[in-house]
């Protein structure tokens, strides 16, 4: 159910923006080739959707669905049970969020290296900031790591949107077909885990010492 919902979200977002920004591309708005998406854009969106699966799969609801889909006796069931256990689920989700955050910064490093974009020096500088923010996430307490990962993803998306609107160096299919919907999925998944951690911590406090 979660994967079908993710696919529908990506399809609706891409469908709404594709026609509008196909025309805008001819005026230099950053959409790929005039009248359509560039070669490889569909594959990039598919890979992006696949990259959202660990975020969703490591939420409390996603983990339960995975355990039902791949029970311990099935092939790969022991790996799923290990990854979705309460003590490993959140650290894995935080670590994955940190790796994605680093990847998003690397996009700007690549653009600056390719040349032909405005503010190349600033792009090089910004490209390493997400990695520095992601670096300590693995050793932070779970709730803090979830907040830092989510905040970093939101900040990176805000920078990308600002650059898209001012410099037109990021293609529209990337912004509206990938960055916006996938950031929403990632941050929503981290938020779901954060809410569950908060409820779990409250329950432990309410139980008192045994």
Q: Where are the domains of the chain?
A: 2-13+41-197
The pLDDT, as a whole number, for residue 201 is 58
Q: What mean pLDDT comes out for the span 11-38?
A: 46
Q: What mean pLDDT comes out for the span 3-10?
A: 48
95-130: per-residue pLDDT in tens? 999 999 999 999 999 988 888 777 778 889 999 999
Determine contact, residues 63/54, Cβ cutoff 8 Å. Answer: no
When comparing pLDDT for 205 and 121, which is higher?
121
pLDDT band at 86 (very low <50, low <70, confident <90, very high): confident
Is residue 81 scored above 90 in pLDDT? Answer: yes
Residue count (the chain): 210
When comparing pLDDT for 25 and 102, which is higher?
102
Tokens 């996938």 belong to which residue?
A: 182
Determine contact, residues 138/94, Cβ cutoff 8 Å. Answer: yes
The pLDDT, as a whole number, for residue 31 is 41
Q: What mean pLDDT comes out for the span 35-43?
A: 78
Least confident of 43-47, 135-139, 205-209: 205-209
Q: What mean pLDDT comes out for the span 188-205?
A: 80
- DSSP three-state, residue 36: coil
Q: Is the whole-model pTM more than 0.75? A: yes
Spatial neighbors of 88 by CB under 8 A, at least 6 apart, are: 82
- Give the single-character DSSP code of 128: T
The pLDDT, as a whole number, for residue 36 is 62
């Amino acid at each position: 159910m979660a994967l079908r919902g993710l696919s529908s979200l990506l399809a609706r977002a891409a469908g709404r923006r594709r026609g509008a920004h196909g025309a805008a591309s001819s005026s230099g708005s950053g959409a790929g080739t005039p009248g359509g998406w560039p070669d490889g854009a569909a594959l990039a969106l598919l890979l992006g959707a696949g990259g959202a699966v660990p975020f969703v799969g490591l939420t409390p609801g996603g983990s339960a669905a995975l355990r039902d889909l791949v029970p311990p006796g099935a092939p790969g069931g022991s790996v799923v049970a290990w990854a979705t256990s309460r003590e490993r689920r959140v650290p894995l989700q935080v670590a994955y969020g940190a790796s994605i955050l680093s990847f998003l910064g690397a996009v700007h490093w690549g653009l600056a290296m390719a040349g032909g974009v405005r503010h190349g020096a600033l792009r090089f500088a910004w490209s390493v900031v997400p990695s520095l923010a992601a670096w300590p996430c693995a050793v932070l307490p779970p709730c803090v790591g979830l907040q830092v990962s989510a905040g970093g993803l939101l900040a990176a998306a805000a920078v990308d949107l600002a650059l898209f609107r001012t410099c037109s160096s990021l293609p529209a299919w990337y912004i509206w077909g990938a960055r916006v919907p996938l950031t929403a999925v990632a941050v929503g998944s981290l938020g779901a885990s954060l809410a569950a951690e908060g409820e779990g911590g409250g329950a432990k406090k309410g139980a008192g010492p045994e």
